[in-house]
């Protein structure tokens, strides 16, 4: 035993370029902050639901599109966040993680209500192959 904490040993893989690889478009401080907050919600809720150790990797992706929505009585035109979660043994192949709908609902509601600049959340159900785990 090396005496390392389980949090370090069981940590999900993280891309070398950091969160910037998950911003599909121009990387700006504002877009990085949106993604940072959305990603924190995804990981927090996955952990709360007791799914973190069952999922190989879970994260948010900031898409290069905006969409119409309604917040209160106002029309909005804001960003879209994709939630990606996969199960895998080694990352060479992966299947999308079957996260319960209630957990997905909590993630979506929290991101939309807590992350300024987001009005839509989608869940990526692509396997690898044909897709890849990361979007870029």
pLDDT at 10 over 90: no
pLDDT reported for residue 71: 87
Q: Could you list the residue range(s) of the whole structural domain that residue 82 is in?
A: 6-124
Task: Classify residue 136: in a domain, yes or no.
Answer: no
Domain contains 129: no
Q: Following CA atoms 64, 107, 101, 133 in sequence, which dihedral angle do they give, to the nearest 10 degrees? A: 50
Task: Classify residue 120: in a domain, yes or no.
Answer: yes
- The CATH number given to whatever domain includes residue 88 is 3.30.300.10
- At 92, list the tokens: 């060479």
pLDDT in tens, 33-87: 999 999 999 999 999 999 999 999 999 999 999 999 998 899 999 999 999 999 9
The pTM (predicted TM-score) of the whole model is 0.90
Give domain status of residue 119, yes or no: yes
State the total domains in the chain: 1
Residue 2 clears pLDDT 80, i.e. is over it: no
- Lowest average pLDDT, out of 9-13, 66-70, 75-79, 129-133, goes to 9-13
In a domain, 132, yes or no: no
């Amino acid at each position: 035993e090396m005496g390392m904490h389980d949090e370090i040993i069981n940590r999900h893989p993280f891309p070398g370029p950091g969160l910037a690889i998950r911003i599909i478009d121009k990387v700006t401080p504002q877009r990085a902050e949106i993604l940072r907050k959305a990603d924190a919600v995804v990981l927090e809720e996955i952990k709360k639901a007791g799914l973190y150790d069952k999922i190989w990797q879970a994260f948010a992706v900031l898409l290069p599109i905006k969409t119409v929505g309604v917040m209160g009585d106002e029309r909005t035109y804001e960003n879209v966040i994709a939630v990606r979660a996969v199960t895998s043994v080694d990352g060479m192949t992966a299947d999308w993680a079957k996260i319960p709908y209630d957990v997905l609902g909590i993630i979506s509601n929290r991101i939309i209500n807590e992350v300024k600049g987001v009005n839509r959340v989608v869940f990526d159900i692509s396997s690898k192959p044909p897709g890849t785990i990361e979007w870029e």
